[in-house]
Amino acid sequence: MSSDTRALILESVRKFHQEASQRTEFVPGVTPVWPSGASLVEEDRVALVEAALDMRIAAGVTSRKFERKFARALGLRKAHMTNSGSSANLLALSSLTSPQLGDRRLRPGDEVITVAAGFPTTVNPILQTGMVPVFVDVELGTYNTTPDRIRDAIGPKTRAIMIAHALGNPYEVEEVAAIAEEHGLFLIEDNCDAVGSTYRGRFTGTFGDFATVSFYPAHHITTGEGGCVLTDNLVLARIVESMRDWGRDCWCEPGEDDTCRKRYAYQLGDLPPRYDHKYTFSHVGYNLKATDLQAALGLSQLSRLEEFGALRRRNWQRLHDGLAATPGLLLPRATPGSDPSWFGFAITVLPEAPFDRYELLRFLESRKIGTRLLFAGNITRHPGYLDQPFRVAGELANSDVVTERTFWIGVYPGLTTEMVDYVARSVREFVAQRG
């Protein structure tokens, strides 16, 4: 394809985007106010088409470029892109079972501390690897657990901690990391909802052995589907890469051979001498890679990460200010010492309120205002987990409150101040009607 033809195509894409993306007037009660969604601009569409013109349909040079830039943006050494945030969580925990970790490796039956009030994909890898989740409760308002709860949950079989920063609000991760170090535990930060959040001036995702991220359209930047595992530990990074890429021992990029100049010089396992290193497998792995098409969009989105964070904070604060004097509702609060890049705005209906959550949600939905529950609430009450092995440390009273009384509304960058004000006004109107 000539450069002139390419330029003509991309110019047509820009024109198409401008014509297709003209903002329509917001009509309260008619225009949907979504709780989450991607914020896509002209450069995003051009990036996707440009990658398609190059037929970059598998993981390759663009994926590696995105991984380097994303790791650098968060101040970490290594990032490995995956096909989802769920896969990132599975990879992170699975990597800790590698024989290459010696006596530190996690094994079936080991315990991993996590919260009951979260998203299933933080819990599922614990069960999928044959380990036992230890559930702790959360605080209402922050919707995070506390260092004391984690410390009290540690038992003789506890080997790791795997907890998400709730709706972008950091938990006291510096203190939790200190507990992990004191007890020789691995720490995985599920950072899927919190990219750009800070605790004590430091990015979330930089305190633990691993951070995981989701690039689903609801999240802080998007690649469509997609996720990432990040770490400062080069040994762990190499294990993640192997397990993500079928479990192979070779580190050649797709389409490359003999990067190490010793392709036929290895003798590993019970294989014969001079067995092709490119087809030697050192882990029971997966194929969880993303594509260069996704990475191209990720690179375009990454340039707007700071802008997205500012808009999320603006919308969250505007909602908080608009609902501050509303009776019957517990509003969210940031963890002390943190600056969240908020994923959502959580509201808990108080017991003394003359209405319940269902009634409020139905009212908001009648006004085209999208709502979401706080994920699983108390996950131990879900049908899929009733017969799973787990241990509960302490009570899960607040997780039960979340299950029965909590929901969240959106703060994502696609919401205008007019939309946010309409949401706050609608909530106030409903509460006033109920006395």
Residues recognised as catalytic: 219
Closest CA to 384 of 191, 124, 132, 182: 124
Question: 268: left (phi > 0), else alpha (psi -120 to 50), else beta?
Answer: beta
Whether residue 151 contacts residue 409, with contact meaning beta carbons closer than 8 Å, is answered with no
| 149 within 8 A of 130, measured Cβ to Cβ | no
What's the distance, Cα to Cα, between the start and end of the chain in Å? 68
Q: What are phi and psi of 301, to 5 degrees?
A: -70, -35
Residue 144's closest CA among 171, 167, 168? 171
DSSP string, 341-378: --SEEEEEE-TTSSS-HHHHHHHHHHTTB--EE-TTSB
- Alpha helix (H) residue ranges in 129-279: 147-153, 173-183, 234-244
Asked if 355 contacts 329 with a C-beta cutoff of 8 angstroms, the reply is: no
Rounded Cα distance between 64 and 250, Å, is 16
366 is written with which tokens? 């009648």
- Give the whole-angstrom CA distance, residue 349 versus residue 330: 6
Please tell me the distance from the alpha carbon of residue 178 to that of residue 42, in angstroms, as a whole number: 44
For the chain, the C-alpha Rg in angstroms (whole number) is: 23
